[in-house]
Each structure stands twice: as structure tokens, then as C-alpha cells.
Chains A and B, each alone.
Chain A
């Protein structure tokens, strides 16, 4: 109950302010009206529907993450397992990594126009880097004692990698994945706000442009709810994996 008190207080303040302080404002709408507007949007169908927009954002985020993760984890494994490879790739990574993903939005627009592919490519670029870095770190952080055991048992490099290093990395990989999921969502919505005329971000922009502050607030809240829900789900999954892989319940970094 307690976590709800403060937000409900804020919502009540907003309700009062939007109703009596600045009624008819283009910017602020009472949360009650926002709820109504959202209800209407839910029952709508076609391109404007909530389902369509949410599905678009979630699927482009997911596909972008898949691509970015596939490349990032693979390269991260290579760089994490081989010090030489890491040293070789260092400069190129340091040069390319600082490019903000939003800088690629116009390029993606140029190449793909608007729609799925443009958003997926930007999300893929954005999520590639954190997954690369985190996978590399996860590979490096495998308990040295485990590696000593592998050596003592005379395991081949392949066996050592598949039997010891990879399984040991799994909990940290899932942490990286969880962070990647929330990041992918953020990037996807940002692309929609900046340029792409589809998805939840765009729906929010349209609501603002049509001077419908109630719908705009509703979309903002919905984006928050979806993000929160996805994060909570992936956190559960990450914890379940960590538990399954034998990590202690407490002390697993968030």
C-alpha cells in the first residue's frame, strides 16, 4: 500500500491543478480525463489503436535487441576470452562507441525510410555496445579458481569454454540482457518521438499536436507502465536464471 501513497498524492495534485487552476490547458489534463481518453483509444481499432502502437514499439525493440545482442554477445565472447582480440579491438571500439545512437536516426531514415527496419537498426546499434561490453566483462570475470580447476582437469580450450566459462557467464549475461531490454525500449520510443511515425512515442507526439493533453498524458503513463512491466518481467526471469544457475539469492547485483 505504501508505495502508492506518494504517486497517488501527485496525481491528485495534478487533477486539482488541471481542473481548477488551468482548465482547458493544452498542456495539462486531469488524470481522470486521461484515463477516459485512454479507454476510448483502447477500444479503437486500426492504425490509431493502442494495441497496434504498443505492438509496433515492442516488436521493433525486441527485434532490434535480438540483432544487437546477437552481434554484441558474440563479439563480446571473443573479446572476453582472448586478451589479444580485446587489445586488437580496443581502439576501434573506443572510436565508434561514443557515437550517440540518435545520431544514426537520420541515416537510418535515409536508408530505410520510415517503419520497422529503420527503428530496428537504430535499436540494434544502440544495444550492441552495452551487450558487447557486459559480455566481455562477464567472460573476464569468471572465477579464476574455476579456470584453475579446468586446467587441473586437463580440459581442452573448447571444453573449458563450453563446460565452465559459458555456464559461469549465464547469470551475468541475463543481467546484461535485462539491461538491454529496458534500453531497447527506451531507444525505440526515442526514435518514435524524434522521427518514426509509428508506435507509442509517435502516438504521444500526435496527441500533443492535436492539442489533446488527456491523450498525451495517457500515452506517457502507458509508456511508463509498459516499461515498468517489461522490466519487472525480465527481472523475474533474470532472478530465476540466477537461482537456477546456483547463484545465492542475496548479493546478485541488480
Chain B
């Protein structure tokens, strides 16, 4: 850490970290949204020969979503240290209570999603099994909700004091 801080200013380091967090969040958001849409609105039949490209099967997103979710949670937990001291205190002083409260809810939402990841991964190991089709669908939708909520609230907090604010 001290090596990095000898090369750049502390502010710049945290802003870069926050920006990487944002970029990965966009990737996670795209993957989990595509998968959630695929389970909510599955196509009933093949397109035939009219389209010469196969769509990416929904199950293939699973490892990417698990890895990105865990990585994002860890990265968020790291940035959270800075948020707690540098962002939240002025937020409270300026009476941005809804923003602070929404961020508190974000911590819990992300944690709940984290706990579901082993089951989510297990259900997607056999995407064709009818046994867990319903729960697989709703666990995926719940994860998509967690990612969307975290993304929007994180973005609002960033607008208060973050990259480009």
C-alpha cells in the first residue's frame, strides 16, 4: 500500500479503485441481468437456420457472476472503509439521511446475495433439471435485484463524494 501511495496521491488511488469497482459492477450487472431475463422469458423454440449465431446459454454466465460478485463484495468492503470515514460523516452532517439509510440497506442486501451464491452455483450446475427450476429462477432474480440495488445506491453515494463529484 505504501509503495502505491509513494507513486500517487491517496485521493487518486481511492478514485481509481472506485472507478474499477464501477467498471466491474457494470459487467456484473450485464451478466446477471441477461441471465435473469433468460430465466424469466425463455424462448419456446429454436430460431432455426434464419439466425446463424447461437445465443450464449444462460448457464454459462454462472461462474462469471459468482466470481464477479465475490470480487465486487471484497472490493466494496475495502472501499467501505473510506466511505465510513470520508463520506458518511459529512453525509450525516449535511442531513442526507435517506442516502445514508439506503447505503446501510445496501450492506445488508449485498450480504444476503453473498450467502445465496453457493446455492445459486449449485442450481445452475444442471440448468436442465426440472427439480430446482423454480427456485433457480427466483434465486437468479433475487441476485439480479441485489446487484441492481447495490449499483444504484452505490452510484448515488459516489455522486455525493466520489469519482467526478
Same complex for A and B? Answer no
Residues of B within 8 A of A (CB): none
